[in-house]
Amino acid sequence: MHDSSKKFIHPYGGNIGQGIDLVLFDGCKKEASFYIEYADEGTWGYLVSTKYPNLVIHPNGSSPSAGNGAELSYWPGKLPGSQFRIDQNNNTIQHKSGRYWHPRGGSGMPGNDTGIVIFDGANMNTKFKVVDSNKKSIKLELPLTTTTRWNLIYQDMNSMNRETTGSYTVTIGQMESNSSTNERETTTSGSMETSMFGVNASVSHEVKNLYSATKAKEQRRDNQGAINYKLLPGEAIYIWQKELVAKWSDGSIYTMGTYITQSTNSNVPPIN
């Protein structure tokens, strides 16, 4: 989203296709969303169309040294000349040439159908914020650490003088976030979720395997973890969930719940 005008990126004419230019226009068009696919460990990457992943944002000519005024448009191919860097601290998008995204003409309040070009320098009129369809900021940087942990999510004790039964169900694969900062709430893009837990080179095999198994359950639609139990008088049950945990430099934490298991002790998490 262009920060000063609050206009969103759209394909010219409304339909994405090869050679179609990017423009600024009122309103959020979900079909025009894109994600960053990193070419390295979280700095430079390709801006890929969510709807048509074969199409990537290129400057005119697709050169790593594309010049001032090069229009941005959709083209196939992930080339060195189609790499960009998104700086969320300064809200800028920079091309490999060192030039930044600008609304054509440089206005802070460009009109509808204003094209997007790369040009030397960044200023208040060249700020772009990465947001989702609900206009919430999206976190793009890779986490500092990605680990696993056990979380006690449910407990029940039978205080009656007869046997009792119960059940507990949780949806596997849900993402949750909490932040120790005063930042606005952030979400993660689908591609970043994968980078956080599934494909990032620094992620352990345990995390990758858990993430793959969790996403496979989602695809099969059998991602409801359920435990049915019986308790004799005085007995208790404790249900734990294995979580994937990603931590960022700003103190924010994202977790994804995977499988659940049970124990009879609230102070000792499961071993496996």
Looking from the CA of 222 toward its CB, the CA atoms found within 13 Å total 4
Question: Which pLDDT does position 88 carry in this prediction?
Answer: 87
Domain boundaries, the chain: 8-133, 145-263
Question: Which pLDDT does position 184 carry in this prediction?
Answer: 44
Rounded-to-integer distance, Cα 242 and Cα 210, Å: 9
Structure tokens at 170: 């949780």
Q: Which fold is adopted by the domain 145-263?
A: hemolytic lectin cel-iii, domain 3 (3.30.1750)
User: What's this model's pTM, rounded to 2 decimal places?
Assistant: 0.66
What DSSP assignment string belongs to 167-180?
EEEEETT-EEEE-S
Question: Which pLDDT does position 83 carry in this prediction?
Answer: 96
What's the CATH code, domain 8-133?
2.80.10.50
The answer to whether the beta carbons of residues 221 and 119 sit under 8 Å apart is no
Instruction: Return the sign of the alpha-carbon dihedral for residues 24, 30, 32, 34.
Output: positive
Question: Which pLDDT does position 179 carry in this prediction?
Answer: 56
* Of the candidates 121, 115, 96, 89, the residue with the CA atom closest to the CA atom of residue 2: 115
Question: Which pLDDT does position 182 carry in this prediction?
Answer: 42
Question: Which pLDDT does position 76 carry in this prediction?
Answer: 96
Question: Which pLDDT does position 135 carry in this prediction?
Answer: 77
Rounded-to-integer distance, Cα 244 and Cα 146, Å: 7
Which positions of the chain have pLDDT values less than 70?
179-191, 200-201, 271-272
Question: Which pLDDT does position 187 carry in this prediction?
Answer: 65
Instruction: Return the sign of the alpha-carbon dihedral for residues 64, 67, 68, 70.
Output: negative
The answer to whether the beta carbons of residues 240 and 263 sit under 8 Å apart is yes
Question: Which pLDDT does position 191 carry in this prediction?
Answer: 62
